[in-house]
Copies of this chain bind each other. A is one copy, B any other.
Amino acid sequence: MTDRKRIVILGAGFGGLFCSLKLAAQPVDVILIDRNDFHTFQPLIYQVATGTLDAVTVGHPVRDLLHKHKNVTFHVAKVLDVDFGAREVHVSGMGPVSYDYLVIGLGSVANDFGIPGVADHAFPLYTLDDAVRLRSHVLLAFEAADKNPELIEDGELTFAIVGGGPTGIETAGAMVELIATSLAEDFPNLDMAQSRVVLIQRESMLLPPFDPKLQAYAEETLKDRGVDLRLNEAVTEVNSTHLVLDSGETIPARTVIWAGGLKSNPVVEKLDIDLVRGRIPVSPDLSIADHPEVFAVGDCAAVMSEDGERALPQLASVAKQAGEYVAGSIKRQLADKPVKPFHYSDRGIMATIGRRAAVIQMPGGHTITGTPAWAAWAGVHLALLSGAESRVTAVLDWSWSMFTHQHRSRIVLNRDEEEDQSS
């Protein structure tokens, strides 16, 4: 028993969690460490921000997912440092954790690209806490405008979303829907025509990796639903009352949602690894340079496509497959079997634009739009939502939202930090 190898996994996102699950019941000891006690179902956090799903549907207790697996131990701790030479990890609140294999899946953070004011005034949308904070801010903006309609002119009801990738378009679509349905009912004295959702995209099209047909569909659908779309526009400055575009235009907006891409996690930056464009460079077997026993997976890793031409996108499905691949590689190594390079099996990409509107691009190039795509999107996400109860709750919340146009999770908790702004 004493020669059981110990595998330490940093981060319980899609990469780390699925790596752990794949190593469960194997003759190894697994220690999984995350800053939070929950796994975040990342693709749905915009639904928490826009009041459709509650936080506990999208954040599932990690321990709940590991009950059956006696060889996996979980700790809530912040990663402080890794000593690659001594093969040990330093984390908050407990002694050093030594490893035989290390899997780094610590994720990323929102990239402000050094644009002035973004770090201080824009709302990132990457973590579950981000989503709850943004939801409170949006709801309190309507409360403030309802008390003082003259604030609307100053952008109290203007929600600028920066970034035309999936997060940006999903948030924009969900936001116009929230405003047109539940909030219009909640605030009968406000003229919702004065509320604006502006989507700003640096490039000339939305959803750059998607088929042009899908890009056009997304563009048209968002415009139809009232999103003020600004393509070919970059943001040069953000502050608490407005943002400035490089065309020189100033848009008054009290809420700027930053979906403009990711950069390296400060925790990863502290590690003794040379990052490439903010991500950890990895070999075809996802190990890092000079340390075949250390792997990187998920958003923090620059996993290259098989032709070596480009880094794979920062998607849950890439993270999940990478995590499972690393678990498999470790098992093979322990069994003295040769390890094959990582192969990403493309299951297609999808994004939802709102009720009954989504786009799906299948690996072969086949595309789906509209209600069928939306139904497929909902089905896939339900199937993936960890935990039977989360699934049932999500069905309930979504059905409720579909049939009643209601967003039941629209309450403001922990509002102390917003206090001064709204009063």
Contact = CB atoms under 8 A, between A and B. Distances in A.
Interface of A: 36-38, 54-56, 59-61, 63-64, 67, 70, 73, 75-78, 92-94, 128-129, 132, 139-140, 143-144, 146-148, 182, 185-189, 387, 389-390, 392-393, 396, 400, 406, 408-415, 422-423
B413 A188 contact: no
Tell me which of A36, A67, A129, A411 has the highest count of chain B C-beta atoms within 10 A of its own C-beta.
A411
Nearest to A387: B408
B77 A412 contact: no
A63 B186 contact: yes
Given A37-B412, A73-B189, A414-B129, A147 B56 contact: no
B422 A37 contact: no
Contact of A148 (B70, B78, B94, B185): B94
A208 to B, nearest CB: 33
Contact of A70 (B59, B63, B188, B409): B188
A128 B186 contact: no
B411 A61 contact: yes
A27 to B, nearest CB: 18
B92 A423 contact: yes
Given A389-B400, A396-B396, A411-B37, A187 B77 contact: no
A47 to B, nearest CB: 13
A143 B408 contact: no
Nearest to A70: B188
B140 A76 contact: yes
Given A64-B186, A423-B93, A75 B414 contact: no
6 contacts: A54-B54, A56-B411, A76-B412, A92-B422, A93-B423, A389-B396
A56 B409 contact: yes
A146 B63 CA distance: 12
A94 B93 CA distance: 46
A411 B393 CA distance: 16
A120 to B, nearest CB: 17
Contacts of A77: 147, 423
Contacts of A67: 185-186
A186 B61 contact: yes
Contact of A129 (B56, B75, B413): B413
Nearest to A136: B37
A409 B406 CA distance: 22
A399 to B, nearest CB: 10
Contacts of A189: 73
A93 B422 contact: yes
